[in-house]
Structure 1
């Protein structure tokens, strides 16, 4: 592969002869990682014309770089970056002066809150109890590829290429209205549905439309960490409310403009809100004229029993905003979700969306629409449910055998268990386990006060093969027993 000639320029601030400056330019490109081993450099004639210097100057510079082992010359083929040049240890560093006071310039400053971190190379770990990632052994690669090719065809040319302005793919909206939502007991017209870039984008749109600076928002504690970031950046007042085995506590709920909740599968404890509490929440919301944003993720993974009715299906006066997503059930990189609400709310959210990115990419929407419409989606859900059922059974048996403590489990399924290790800082536990190729997720980032969650952690079974679960749990139990601060048994 050749290096584009447009990436070469002589820095006017560098001193020395033209030959020296060209040598420095190429050497810096190699040492920074911009030019990689085996890549071909422009010919001396072409680079000389591009830089406005003589061809002899470039040739002499190349010759010196060959002598210093930065380049190799291959007969009549030209000059190439050498195979044995030093490799950069990190990201490309650009030397420049930056005199901007970014702490003052960024308004509002980015939130400094704990996040759920995982290594980029998490797939290389033998025991990745990592939540929300796709298992390549379960995903239907071939049919997704066929649907993507179909979406590239002439028949779908308009859906793929057109600027829809503030509209969405009608085939995708039709599937959501006729298939996805009725499974949750929800009936909605097309103008009551908005396609989003995943559930997180849907939550951002809802928060922006429903809450201004100083608006009061109830959130669960613990809760989905990005939601706190979204509300904080929007200037809302955040009112954390604790959860129990039945989800968000409704008794004593403070008055607010909006209540954000994950009733079907609480994040992160997996608690499911029973029907009586759902009705109590809606009654209280009506009494106090509050709106409710329902994040209904993971209801598809109902392999232990049918999920409870969606809050939106119980809504009789239009105060529930429903958030759905295909990112967990298909794959997280898809970033495709949806909002369901009353027409005025969806119109306002659509107008706000159009000022940022108009609509999710047409090709992605149409590919997903074909995948859903042709039945591949339901087949995938069935395959995932069978696999998750087996993995969960193996995990629960191993946890029981080793005496680990489960703090929360989804009543209808899901893809994770919420754990507690009394007296142990699970950040330290996670660091010890990482050295043994085991990944867990410490629980403190989910809490408004991270100190409250230091002894909690999440174990997901969506991304780890069934035959590795028991050995991974055994390693976790072994490290828990070794940890200082563990209560005596």
Structure 2
């Protein structure tokens, strides 16, 4: 790889001849690790022009570095950092400087803290990764995604690739969402009622910022998606956690002063409970009674392989009080960060303006690539393939859990890609997860899904989207063995 000439500059306060300064500049780059073995240096002509010195000065400096084995020369190919160049120096940690500014007072709002909900970055190296939301490379249609990406990068799509949409979105993606994706959930929406977001989490943040203030109250499920609680805390609104049961959010427990209700009716996060139609209607009636808005996160409706999905709350909404959150990141791959909001025009208008002030819009080439992937039928084919595989994994996992005595705490009636589990009383699943990692098994502790002050310690989640069916029985056996031998 060639090193950019713009990374070189002479220190105006340096001592010595120009030749010596150039030698020192290159040597220090090698010793600091900034210039690495095998990397190509700029030509003598380019570096001389950049530094505004004579070419012979740079040539003499390179020649001296060549003699000292800092550089090597490969015929007419130029100069490279030598394979025999000194290794970068190892420096002791720099002592912390005393900063004059008191950052504890300078920071106006804090966004760190809370119970972390993370997965190991190297999760794929574990033999039994029972984690949720990661992509199985054996299922993803990489070939057709690459072809769609190449098509989106072509001359025909130069405008969507390079244009600043400002506060708008790719019309082809919006059209597909309006004409194909939403009707499958019983939702009819105009383009002006749809906003593309950087995934479902960005959609939830936009909704929170638009709908909530410090004086308003948000009701949300307990347990719930950890990042939603973080977003709500950041908004400084009043929080009203509401319990869930086997049918999802218990609407009778929603406080009358609630302004916004956050719910995951298709697959409650994390219990996976599916809210039946009768309760969905009751939730809408409750919201109408207290004049609240509902934010419906329909994050995994495509994975309804065990039964037909219930109608979306938004499809049952007769007075426009439901804001719908959808995502392609869960069904395609999490790194895509592509979701959408559907709501009444006044709401979308404000969400669009807020998005424009923060990030303008989702990159055009990402939107156009996704539009091609959806429009050409690759997405539907992928969902069918994933549904078949996940259905089989769910069956194998259910049998293995029964065999080894694992207790199920919640189950969706329509599918999904995870089980919500309960360990025996006294088991700390955070400690259990650490113990299982040493045996190449990954599970997700349940504590981050609850309020930190009252979080039960014996819940955990087992995902099956990233583990082959052939490995599930042995992985479940190891979990069962660890539970039987606890502590």
Calculate the TM-score normalised by the size of structure 1.
0.89
Q: 2:366 aligns with which of 349, 361, 364?
A: 364
Partner of 1:133: 134
Q: What SS class does the counterpart of residue 472 from structure 2 fall into?
A: helix
Residue 241 in structure 1 maps to residue 252 in structure 2: no
Is the deviation greater in 200-209 or in 45-54?
45-54
Partner of 2:3: 3
C-alpha distance in 1 between matches for 2:184 and 2:427: 41
Q: Deviations over 1:144-187 (max 9, x none)?
A: 22222222334333333322222222221121112111111111
C-alpha distance in 2 between matches for 1:382 and 1:300: 9
Is the deviation greater in 381-390 or in 263-272?
263-272
Q: Structure 1's 256 and 40: CA in aligned 2 closer, same or farther, altered over 3 A?
A: same
Q: Note the 1:342-421 alignment, pairs <5 A.
A: 342-421=344-423
Q: Structure 1's 364 and 56: CA in aligned 2 closer, same or farther, altered over 3 A?
A: closer
Q: What SS class does the counterpart of residue 81 from structure 2 fall into?
A: strand
Q: Structure 1's 61 and 338: CA in aligned 2 closer, same or farther, altered over 3 A?
A: same
C-alpha distance in 2 between matches for 1:137 and 1:443: 28
Q: Note the 1:153-164 alignment, pairs <5 A.
A: 153-164=154-165
Partner of 1:324: 326
Q: 1:464 aligns with which of 463, 467, 475?
A: 467
C-alpha distance in 2 between matches for 1:479 and 1:85: 49
Q: Note the 1:298-317 alignment, pairs <5 A.
A: 298-317=300-319
Residue 435 in structure 1 maps to residue 413 in structure 2: no
State the aligned residue count: 482
C-alpha distance in 1 between matches for 2:97 and 2:57: 31
Q: Note the 1:67-466 alignment, pairs <5 A.
A: 67=68, 71-72=71-72, 77-82=78-83, 86=87, 99-254=100-255, 255-422=257-424, 423-449=426-452, 451-466=454-469
C-alpha distance in 1 between matches for 2:299 and 2:65: 61
Gaps of 5+ in 1: 485-489
Gaps of 5+ in 2: none
Q: Deviations over 1:196-247 (max 9, x none)?
A: 1111111111111111223211111111111122122222122211211111
C-alpha distance in 2 between matches for 1:107 and 1:309: 43
Q: Structure 1's 450 and 467: CA in aligned 2 closer, same or farther, altered over 3 A?
A: farther
C-alpha distance in 2 between matches for 1:116 and 1:246: 25
C-alpha distance in 2 between matches for 1:59 and 1:127: 58
Partner of 1:481: 484
C-alpha distance in 1 between matches for 2:421 and 2:161: 44
Is the deviation greater in 48-57 or in 399-408?
48-57
C-alpha distance in 2 between matches for 1:339 and 1:290: 18
CA deviation after TM superposition for structure 1 residue 364, in Å = 1.4
- Measured on the aligned residues, the alpha-carbon RMSD in Å equals 3.0
CA deviation after TM superposition for structure 1 residue 15, in Å = 8.3
Q: Structure 1's 88 and 100: CA in aligned 2 closer, same or farther, altered over 3 A?
A: farther
Q: Structure 1's 216 and 81: CA in aligned 2 closer, same or farther, altered over 3 A?
A: farther
CA deviation after TM superposition for structure 1 residue 33, in Å = 4.1
Q: Deviations over 1:441-469 (max 9, x none)?
A: 11111111265232111111111112111
Conserved in 2, the CA contact under 8 Å of 1:215 and 1:235? Answer: no
C-alpha distance in 1 between matches for 2:258 and 2:207: 15
Calculate the TM-score normalised by the size of structure 2.
0.90
Q: Structure 1's 280 and 148: CA in aligned 2 closer, same or farther, altered over 3 A?
A: same
C-alpha distance in 2 between matches for 1:5 and 1:412: 58
Q: Structure 1's 365 and 75: CA in aligned 2 closer, same or farther, altered over 3 A?
A: closer
CA deviation after TM superposition for structure 1 residue 407, in Å = 1.1
Q: Structure 1's 249 and 304: CA in aligned 2 closer, same or farther, altered over 3 A?
A: same
Q: What SS class does the counterpart of residue 419 from structure 2 fall into?
A: strand
Q: Structure 1's 239 and 411: CA in aligned 2 closer, same or farther, altered over 3 A?
A: same
Conserved in 2, the CA contact under 8 Å of 1:35 and 1:81? Answer: no
Conserved in 2, the CA contact under 8 Å of 1:31 and 1:86? Answer: yes
